[in-house]
Structure 1
Amino acid sequence: MPPKKNGERETLKFSELYGEMTVRGMKLSDKVNRLNGQQVEMTGFMAPPLSATVRFFVLTKVALAICPFCSTDADWPTDIVVVFMPDGKELTPTEHQVKVTGTLSVGSQTDDETGFVSLIRIMADKTEVLK
């Protein structure tokens, strides 16, 4: 697929996050690696937050009814994306789908405040609740 022109963003789907399963675990797809540092758009569901005020939320392909932080690691879906909100911005938890636009960032990273480890992140410029 040809790269998008400056200012255009590419839509990323949950099914496109990983390329294959290896003995070391899931391997990021070529598309995700290619889009690292680029503007993307992604739609999913907001997982229940760790607390009422967080700088980030977890985007999932299906709605989660319970707090995933309260479960074991085995209960986490593998295809999640952590969305970091812009400074000073918050998103009220919702059961509706959320469309996120921002810069894709890949590679293991630990949040200093919570200790949450993420592999795929979007640094959000815009979030929109779809109803």
Structure 2
Amino acid sequence: MRQSLDGPSTIRFSELYGKESVRGLAFSDKLKELDGMKVEMTGYMAPPLTATVRFFVLTRIPLAVCPFCSTDADWPTDIVVVQLPEGKELTPTEHQVKVTGTLSIGSQTDEDTGFVSLIRIVADDTEVLS
């Protein structure tokens, strides 16, 4: 899949994973093709631990509780970690958020928090939709 001349490719939560096997979920072909490219995705910000955040978890549906306070079993599988640009913060919101940035896939552990993610978007821009 090639980068669109009209802007970033849109990813939907239903397009994150292809098939499930005994080894777990496998990334979809679309996600693998867009790895390292500019993408756009819309979802909900999971409740964070602090008033402002440098990264947040984007979910398909609004979550009522702090995901960091739950067990792994409580996490939905279709989540995306959004890393904000250096020096940028975002105030938590219950409204949908549109994120534009570079897609990165594969297991990664955040050095500061120990949080493990499989899918990330390094955001260039975030827009709260009301």
Question: Residue 108 of structure 1 corresponds to which residue in structure 2?
Answer: 107
The unaligned stretches of length 5 or more in structure 1 are none
Deviations 1:64-100 (A, max 9, x none): 0111111111000000000000011111000000000
Displacement of 1:43: 0.1
Q: What is the TM-score of this pair, normalised by structure 1?
A: 0.95
> C-alpha distance in 2, partners of 1:97/1:12?
15
Question: Residue 127 of structure 2 corresponds to which residue in structure 1?
Answer: 128
Question: Residue 52 of structure 1 corresponds to which residue in structure 2?
Answer: 51
Secondary structure of the residue that 1:31 maps to in structure 2?
A: helix
Of 97-106 and 42-51, more deviation after overlay is shown by 42-51
Deviations 1:45-74 (A, max 9, x none): 000113334321000000001111111110
The count of residues paired between Structure 1 and Structure 2 equals: 130
Identity %: 71
Displacement of 1:4: 3.2
> C-alpha distance in 1, partners of 2:49/2:66?
7
Q: CA RMSD, aligned part only?
A: 1.2
Question: Residue 71 of structure 1 corresponds to which residue in structure 2?
Answer: 70
Displacement of 1:124: 0.1
Of 112-121 and 45-54, more deviation after overlay is shown by 45-54
